[in-house]
Copies of this chain bind each other. A is one copy, B any other.
Amino acid sequence: MVREQTALQKKFYDVIFGTSRGLGRNFDIALILLILTSVTIVMLDSIPGYHERYGKLFLQVEWGFTAIFTLEYAVRLWCSPNRKRYALSAFGIVDLLAILPTYLAIIVPGANSLLVIRLIRILRIFRVLRLLQFLSEANVLARALRNSRRKIFVFFSLMLVLMTVFGCLMYVIEGPVNGFGTIPESIYWAIVTITTVGYGDVVPHTALGRSIAAFGMLIGYAIIAVPTGIITAELATEIGKEKSRFNCRNCERSGHDVDARYCKYCGAQLPERETNQAA
């Protein structure tokens, strides 16, 4: 339900959710710094040496961050015009999950390992990118990925069938004696091999197994060309469109570079591009 916001709520909303104003921008940058510091401390706390020496300090700082993020969550909820929508949005859920583990650790010891969820909040960085005029670049990428999602889906369905078949083949050929204990394990091996990761924790030992593995590697090596081709072709199209996004007012032709100031066909001056707004 959309409520009427009071003037104070509106102001807070602009600062916390907005990014275009000076205060909103500073708030976002401060928030990202807080998240990064908080995550760094979770990381350091996972190193036994540091945990022993600074464990207590880390715990206190962690509680401090949790207090700040809890307050932030409360304010976000309070100043939202539509509280339910925020609480159920992806960002809203992540904001909540980012504070829960500390409280949970009172009851269940060790739960604060889950604080790593806080990391996902870093994705807010991309909201800040808008401020830095990187959004139009991100948009071209996003549009190209969106256009190619169906082809990528078809490709990955085929890949998964291929990997499953390869895994099963190797399970039958190599078997538990050579480390291919179960079919899921063999499929894990097939994924490790066809993506060319190649840990080497499970490797074929029989001549036939090695031949089939070699065949799988060659397929994996060649097939990477397909998603690359798909995304490149779509990206080229998107970059081309970016060039032709507006026409010359004189000759009505498009296809101008982003940095063009004069029409390349008739020499007339081109209108100003407002790249920030356009993005």
Kindly state the separation between the CA atoms of A264 and B237 in the bound complex, as whole angstroms: 16
Whether the pair A221, B218 counts as a contact (CB closer than 8 A) is: no
New A-B pairs, 12, CB < 8 Å, besides A188-B213, A229-B236, A259-B264: A46-B184, A116-B165, A188-B210, A188-B211, A195-B218, A198-B200, A199-B200, A225-B227, A230-B235, A233-B236, A259-B265, A260-B264
Q: Please tell me which one of the listed residues B154, B197, B211, B255 contacts residue A217 in the complex, with CB atoms under 8 A apart.
A: B197
User: Contact between A183 and B42 (Cβ–Cβ < 8 Å)?
Assistant: yes
A residues 181-201 in Cβ contact with B at 8 Å = 181-185, 187-188, 191-193, 195-201
Q: In the assembled complex, how far is the CB of residue A102 from the closest CB belonging to chain B, in whole angstroms?
A: 15
How many residues belonging to A are interface residues under a CB distance threshold of 8 Å?
A: 99
How near does chain B come to A219, taking the closest CB pair, in angstroms?
9
Query: Cβ of A119 and Cβ of B199 under 8 Å apart?
Result: no
Q: What residues make up the interface of A, taking CB atoms closer than 8 Å to B? A: 39, 42-43, 46-48, 113-114, 116, 119-120, 122-123, 125-126, 129, 134, 137-138, 140-141, 144-145, 150-159, 161, 164-165, 168-169, 171-172, 181-185, 187-188, 191-193, 195-201, 203, 207, 210-211, 213-214, 217-218, 220-222, 224-237, 239, 241, 255-257, 259-269, 279
Given contacts A42-B183, A198-B192, A203-B199, contact A228 B224 (CB under 8 A): yes
A226 to B181, CA, bound (A): 36
